Structures are given as C-alpha cells and as structure tokens.
Chain A
Amino acid sequence: MTEKEILRLKKIATHIRKNIIVSTSCAKSGHPGGSLSIADIVTVLYFKEMNVSPRKRNNPDRDRFVLSKGHCAPALYGALAEKGFFPEEDLKTLRKVDSYLEGHPSAKTVPGVDISTGSLGQGVSNAVGIAIGGKLDGRDYRVYTILGDGECEEGEVWEAAMCAAHYKLDNLCAFIDVNGLQIDGATSEVMNPNPIGDKFKAFGWNVVEIDGHDYRAIESALRKAKKVKGKPTAIVAKTVKGKGVSFMENKASWHGVAPDAEQTKAALEELDRFEAELDSAGREA
C-alpha cells in the first residue's frame, strides 16, 4: 500500500469518524466509542477491499459485510453514506422516529445492509450462513464480519466458530475489534474473553493478530486470509476505543453515550485538525 493510498484511506476514515460524532450527537444517544475503534477497519473493507457498489446493490457476486457488533452502526452508516448508498445528510436522522437509520443495522430499511444485527453473537452466525450459501452456489464472493471482544463472551460466537471451521469456510473472514473495553468496564475484569486469538486457533481458524489502526497491517492480513484454503480467518485487531477523539480514547464510559454540544464541537475540531494535517501531508507527498 502506497503512502498516497494510506492518506486517501485515512481521510475517508476521518470523515467517517466525524460523521460518527455528528450522527450520535444529533441522536443524543448511540455508541461512539466502539464505532470509532472500528472506523479504520471499516474504511479498508469498504474503500479498498470489498466489491460492493450502490449501483449494483443486488449483484449476487458482491462481497458481504455483517456488522456483528451491531451497536457500532454509526461507523457502518458513515461508510455506506460515503459509498453513496444514501445521502450523507441523512446521517443526522440516526435513531429518529421518521428515519430509516435504525439504531442497530436493519436490512429491511437501510440501503447497503444485508443482515440485521444488534443482538451480540448472532452476526457471526449470519455470516457463516452467507458463507455456506456462497459455497453452495459456487460464487467466489467473500464474507466479512466484525465482532467486538466483549461480544466474544457470547456462547454463540463459539458455536459459529466451530461451525465455520467444520465447513472449511475459507470465504469467511472475521475481524475481532479488541479495544479491551465493554459497557461495564475492562473486558479482563467484566468477563475475560482473552486470549481471543488462541481460542480461534483452537477452534481451527487461521489467526492473524494486528494493530487495527495500521492500514498496511489490515491490508496484509486480508491478503493472507485470501490465500488460506480450507479455514476461515480471524483477524484479531488491537484497537483503541474512541480512537481519534482524545477525550474519548480508552474510556469505557464512551461505550454508549453521545457527546453533548460542547464535546461534539471539541471532537470535530480535533478531527478537523487531523484532516488538515493529512491534507498538508498529501501536498508534501
């Protein structure tokens, strides 16, 4: 991945981060912390990796994405708006009664969403089903999903993990967003799901451990995942909850609380400054 490419992706991710702040702020509720932690992964998937387009929404060969940690819908919606699935302006209607942007992803109402999620543990099973469907139909699309590390406390994650390995679903790639925090505090204190990579390995998955904010690492992990035959891949991504907004970083309290007007202003200013830095880096390059 070239520096130029990284700059392009970082700009998109920053834009998505700004929209996470704006949309949750307008909604006066939602989940900014985890949305910010997955913004870089979502950006690489939607703007580098996956074959999806609003113009070919029902293309049977399109890659599929399931946001298993459905509460981080603001990150997904930000990417879908940026991709052109719906107007960016609509992000301000998130969670409102007359909006199609449900609090958690809804396949019935949100353009570009294939699977309704929100109840933790189920999205990864849904992704397994899509991967089996792809194999049955002899299509070569890939299925991506993002789980939270807290989500790995759900038993269903491991039922799905067993199933994906059993059916040798090498068309399935799951990111685990290891930000180390859940609503009630540190995952290690609430109910320790670690070591997550070892667990997926034991369940028969190909496991890659990366920094979930390092674009080259994300891209390289995705490349490795594609090369592995006969096994699904788990990309265990170490991330920072609240990434990009310094006062939100590494704080469990930002799991499910929206920023108020003042916090929104501060967050957007910080992201604007970062965007300006990216622009000047771009001019230098």
Chain B
Amino acid sequence: MIAIVDYGVGNLFSLASSFAAIGAEARVTSSEADLKAADKIILPGVGAFGDAAEKLRASGLDSVIKEEATKGKPLMGICLGMQLLLEKSFEYGEHAGLGLIAGEIRPISDVIPADLKIPHIGWNALKFTKKASPLFKYINEGDHVYFVHSFYGANCDDSVIATSEYGAPLTAAVACGNVMGCQFHPEKSGNVGLNILRAFCEM
C-alpha cells in the first residue's frame, strides 16, 4: 500500500485517482500507523512552504516520515512536497525542511531573466542529468510535464536527476537513494506523469 500523506495541505483527489488509474493501492491518510505499514510514502503539498512545514510538524508526521525514509522506505515528494524534503526554504522568511536531501528553496526570480513570467506555469520538457534514475525508466528525455511553481530547489548538487529550462535550468526532480521528489505534478502530466508514478510503485 502507498500512503499519501494528508496533513491538511492541498487537494489529494487527483493524486489518489492517478494511483487508482495505474492499478496501485493508495490510501490518503494522516495516520502514523498507516505510514509505518505502507510500502511507500507520497508527500504532496501546495501553497506556501512555511505554512505547510508548520502543519506537517503540528501533525507529528514529520518525524514518522523521516524515520521511515531513514529505514529505506521509498518516499516521493511532489511539488511543495519535494521542496519540504530539502534542508530549508527562503520563501517569505527562512523555514526548516525535513533535510532528507541537500539543498534549499529559493525564488526562481533569482535565476531567470526579468521578462519571464512567474510562476513557471505550464508544460515543460525534462532534461536528465548524468545520473540515470529508475524513476524515469518508462519515459524519455524531452518528455513534457506540468509545472506550477515560483520557487525552486537550489544547491541540490548531485541529487538533481532532471532539470527544465526556463531562462535557467531549474531543478525538476531530485533523488538521493530511496528519497526522491518531483517539482512538477505527475498526476497532471498525462501518460508521462502516470509512467513516473508507475516506476515509483515498482521501487
């Protein structure tokens, strides 16, 4: 069973539907026991980093997620969920993340030309880094995925497994062992997105 962490941030309907569509058993849950019993964990999220990090801490699930990930359970963060895996964020102040992957969240306005629109919203192509990720075994470089974000993962170094070009190469996906994350929305990225979730299910 795949546990989709429900900590009061965002709508998990599409995500749960995506797993159903690929025949995987997924449960939207805020139960500690479910996270422990699950084979894999999905950490979703939309909205502001500080608010989401606070809600995750208040739920007490942050330590459970960290524990399970440290034990080697596959964990994938999606959108803001990916950002929460990093060490910290500079979105409206400075906030601590889970610190499971090296790097920090910074505004994309730091690195992209001023004439480009923010947020980075729409379909963009994935460029793989040298590190081949099993997450992408069913998709190809250049495939398009759907993004909506104004902040990005900076200084993720070796953890970056894909970038997307938007005036600068923005971190699109990260992985460090059993912990991984997508800045884009696989549940809104058509068959390419479903194939990424399928690959995650097989880990």
- State yes or no: do A and B come from one complex: no
Binding site for B on A (CB under 8 A): none
